[in-house]
């Protein structure tokens, strides 16, 4: 992967009024997710009600940006043609320290990737917008 | 064993093809429905229930009415079943339940799809589109690659273990002249040598998308006994839907089929080890690996050894996907899941020809939709 990710013609997010705070924060290099004031659980992706208790008192909180790699794949044949110039690239399932799991783009590290690897938020310009990507924590 | 909850009285299947030209899904639904109703020995007017799948692009809404009108039916129960690859199995259970509830007596369950050269990309606006696609994760291949990687890490399963599933499917497809890979076997080495699509997933571990159609006619056990073909009884069923996006899956190494199958076995008073045929949903090799474990056929982490210990052919001790599975037959979109039902009916009737299994009393049929998200299991029994 030597291409400048920011020049890719990749599909961006389909933002709604509800999800805008997540993407606004992403543009500023932050990862913000909802937290339920009723049951205390963190929620990803954004919703109008908490999927754990159906409470409506959801507030935005910046996440720590720490996560653990639950699984990953090196994509050789992307599902969308906009990603072809970047292949092979890695996507992974990131279990955030706050609890929920999100799918993200995993930046290359110096060592080979393994499940269980510790990750850190690494905002990255992809396709003309800054996305909350992650990178492995180097020992 | 439990009593019959309803019976499959007729089956229809279209030979899969890579591409269609100027053929609508409605036309294919008509052709395959006719085959199933003829097979049952019924007049079309006997069909008073209709279960169909969603039709993205062609008929976004009013699908049952559109199909009923097209086929000249006036059902007293009509509905869409939208469970991805579990839709076929899900239809069979719903049909039996609708009959038991008095909504109708004889249900046509039909799924088909055309496949044109330049199909438009789906204009989705949902959480997957918003939160997965922008990061480079479009399509099912990557999702199943993530499941496979997690399986390998948790159980130490190897690329070769998974390749054995694909090779066995291809081998079984050599006895099915309708299969898209008939005449094209692929051994373990060929699977492992095929291009890496999304690590650790190789090309030949992924179903080939095809056009096709499948239909079954479900009626009451009593009525089925008076019809042309020996009834195949629904003895037990189970279902569970847990998530849609792989990031939201409660587990990456066990799926909702686990509880769906447990319920189907409980309802039917059977056990996984008693099944004479395993007709297991196989969109990807990893799906079979997880299903074998979740069914209790092998201990966690032992599926490679289990494969080595068993013969999965029609002559073997554990016949698995004797039609070639979708990995060998091709995947006609949502109808792909129904191929596992149709093949089970053929085997339990003793109509499977040169690939007929020996003892054919019980079959396990599984359906799986999205990313190990939607699960339906059926235990079917011979007349
Ligand atoms: Zn809550």
Question: Sign of the CA dihedral B173, B316, B350, B50?
Answer: negative
Interface confidence, given as ipTM, is 0.96
State residue B1's pLDDT score. 53
Inter-chain residue contact A133 with B135, CB threshold 8 Å: yes
Whether residue B260 contacts residue B89, with contact meaning beta carbons closer than 8 Å, is answered with: no
How far apart CA B218 and CA B11 sit, in angstroms, is 9
The conformational region for residue B84 under phi > 0 = left, psi -120 to 50 = alpha, else beta, is left
Options 3.40.1280.10, 3.20.20.370, 3.40.390.10, 3.40.47.10; which CATH number does B138-206+236-381 get?
3.40.47.10
Q: Do A103 and B247 touch (CB under 8 A)?
A: yes
Chain A residues within 8 A of B149 when measuring between CB atoms: 71-73, 115
* A57 C-alpha to ligand 1 centroid (Å): 8
Chain B residue numbers with beta carbons less than 8 Å from the beta carbon of A45 are 127, 130-131
Cα–Cα distance, B31 to B39 (Å, whole number): 13
Ligand 1 centroid from CA A13, angstroms? 25
Structural domain harbouring A79: 5-10+18-136
The helix/strand count (H/E) of chain A reads as 1, 10
Averages of pLDDT over each 10 residues, chain A, 139 residues: 90 95 98 98 96 96 98 97 97 98 96 96 98 93
Give just the sign of the alpha carbon dihedral B33, B213, B312, B363: negative
- Shortest Cα distance, chain A CAs vs residue B196, angstroms: 7
| 8 A C-beta contact, residue A60 and residue A21 | yes
Q: Which fold has domain B7-116+211-232?
A: Peroxisomal Thiolase; Chain A, domain 1 (3.40.47)
Is B109 exposed, middle or buried, given 0-12, 13-18 or 19+ CB atoms closer than 10 A? buried
User: Which of A49, A48, A60 lies closest to A22, judged by CA?
Assistant: A60
pTM for this entry: 0.97
List chain B residues with CB under 8 Å of A16.
130
The whole-angstrom separation of Cα A91 and Cα A78 is 11
Which residues are bridge partners to B198 per DSSP?
A75, B201
Q: A interface toward B at CB cutoff 8 Å?
A: 10-16, 19, 45, 70-80, 83, 86, 88-89, 91-93, 101-105, 114-116, 126-127, 129, 131, 133
**Are A103 and B246 in contact (CB < 8 Å)?**
yes
Per-residue tokens: A108 = 């290359």
The tens place of each residue's pLDDT in chain B, 383 residues long, gives 568 999 999 999 999 999 999 899 999 999 999 999 999 999 999 999 999 999 877 888 999 999 999 999 999 999 999 999 999 999 999 999 999 999 999 999 999 999 988 776 667 788 999 999 999 999 999 999 999 999 999 999 999 999 999 999 999 999 999 999 999 999 999 999 999 999 999 999 999 999 999 999 999 999 999 999 999 999 999 999 999 999 999 999 999 999 999 999 999 999 999 999 999 999 999 999 999 999 999 999 999 999 999 999 999 999 999 999 999 999 999 999 999 999 999 999 999 999 999 999 999 999 999 999 999 999 999 99
Distance from CA of B134 to the nearest CA of A (A): 5
CB–CB of B131 and A15 under 8 A? no
Q: Check A101 against B141: CB less than 8 A apart.
A: no
**In the numeric block, which tokens belong to residue A31?**
């990862």
Q: What is the pLDDT of residues B29-67, one digit of tens each?
A: 999 999 999 999 999 999 999 999 998 778 889 999 999
H or E, element range at A102? strand A101-106
Number of domains into which chain A is organized: 1
B365 touches chain A (CB under 8 A): no
Q: Which residues is B278 bridged to in the sheet?
A: B320, B364
Name the segment(s) of chain B with CATH classification 3.40.47.10.
Answer: 7-116+211-232, 138-206+236-381
B125 touches chain A (CB under 8 A): yes
Contacts of A101 in chain B (CB under 8 A): 247-248
B147 touches chain A (CB under 8 A): yes
Structure-token match 């079984």, residue found: B172
Beta strands in B159-247 (DSSP E): 196-198, 201-202, 212-219, 232-241
Is A72 in contact with B149 (Cβ distance < 8 A)?
yes
Chain B residues near residue A103 by CB distance under 8 angstroms: 131-132, 135, 137, 245-247
> For B247, which of A73, A101, A133 is closest by C-beta distance?
A101
Tell the residue number behind the tokens 């299903």, with chain if given: B291
Nearest CA in chain B to A102: B247
CB contact (8 A) between residue A73 and residue B127? no
User: What is the reported pLDDT for B312?
Assistant: 98
Whole-angstrom distance, CA of residue B380 vs CA of residue B364: 6
User: Tens of pLDDT along B329-342?
Assistant: 999 999 999 999 99
């Amino acid at each position: 992967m030597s291409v400048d990710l920011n020049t890719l013609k990749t599909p961006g997010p389909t933002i709604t009024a509800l999800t805008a705070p997540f993407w606004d924060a992403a543009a500023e290099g932050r990862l913000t997710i909802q937290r339920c004031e009723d049951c205390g659980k963190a929620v990803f992706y954004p919703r109008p009600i908490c999927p754990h208790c159906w409470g409506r008192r959801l507030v935005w909180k910046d996440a720590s940006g720490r996560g653990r790699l639950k699984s990953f794949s090196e994509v050789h044949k992307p599902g969308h043609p906009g990603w072809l110039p970047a292949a092979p690239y890695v996507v992974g399932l990131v279990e955030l320290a706050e609890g929920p799991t999100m799918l993200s783009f995993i930046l290359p590290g110096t060592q080979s990737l393994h499940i269980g690897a510790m990750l850190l938020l690494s905002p990255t310009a992809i396709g003309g917008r800054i996305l909350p990507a992650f990178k492995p924590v180097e020992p | 064993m439990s009593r019959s909850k309803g019976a499959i009285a007729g089956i229809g299947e279209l030979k899969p093809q890579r591409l269609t030209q100027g053929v609508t899904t409605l036309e294919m639904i008509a052709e395959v429905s006719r085959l199933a109703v003829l097979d049952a020995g019924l007049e079309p007017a006997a069909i008073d229930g209709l279960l169909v799948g969603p039709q993205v692009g062609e008929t976004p809404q009013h699908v049952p009415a559109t199909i009923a009108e097209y086929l000249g039916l006036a059902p007293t129960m009509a509905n869409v079943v939208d469970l991805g690859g579990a839709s076929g199995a899900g239809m069979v259970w719903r049909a039996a339940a609708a009959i038991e509830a008095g909504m109708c007596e004889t249900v046509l369950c039909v799924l088909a799809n055309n496949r044109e050269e330049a199909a438009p990309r789906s204009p989705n606006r949902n959480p997957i589109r918003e939160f997965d696609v922008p990061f480079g994760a479009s399509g099912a291949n990557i999702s199943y690659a993530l499941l496979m990687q997690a399986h390998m890490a948790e159980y130490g399963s190897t690329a070769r273990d998974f390749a054995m599933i694909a090779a066995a499917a291809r081998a079984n497809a050599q006895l099915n002249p309708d299969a898209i890979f008939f005449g094209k076997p692929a051994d373990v080495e060929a699977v492992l040598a095929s291009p890496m699509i999304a690590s650790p997933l190789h090309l030949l571990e992924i179903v080939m998308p095809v056009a096709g159609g499948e239909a079954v006619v479900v009626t009451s056990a009593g009525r089925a006994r008076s019809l042309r073909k020996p009834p195949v009884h629904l003895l037990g069923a189970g279902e569970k839907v847990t998530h849609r996006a792989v990031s939201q899956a409660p587990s990456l190494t066990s799926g909702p089929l686990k509880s769906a199958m447990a319920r189907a076995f409980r309802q039917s008073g059977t056990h996984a080890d008693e099944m004479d045929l395993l007709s297991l949903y196989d969109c990807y090799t990893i799906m079979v690996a997880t299903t074998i474990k979740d069914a209790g056929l092998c201990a966690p982490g032992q599926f490679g050894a289990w494969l080595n210990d068993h013969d999965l052919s029609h002559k073997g001790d554990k016949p698995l996907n004797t039609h070639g599975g979708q990995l060998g037959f091709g995947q006609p979109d949502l109808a792909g899941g129904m191929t596992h039902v149709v093949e089970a009916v053929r085997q339990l009737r003793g109509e499977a020809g040169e690939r007929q299994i020996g003892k054919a009393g019980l079959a396990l049929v599984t359906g799986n939709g999205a990313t190990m998200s939607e699960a339906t299991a059926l235990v079917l029994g011979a007349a």
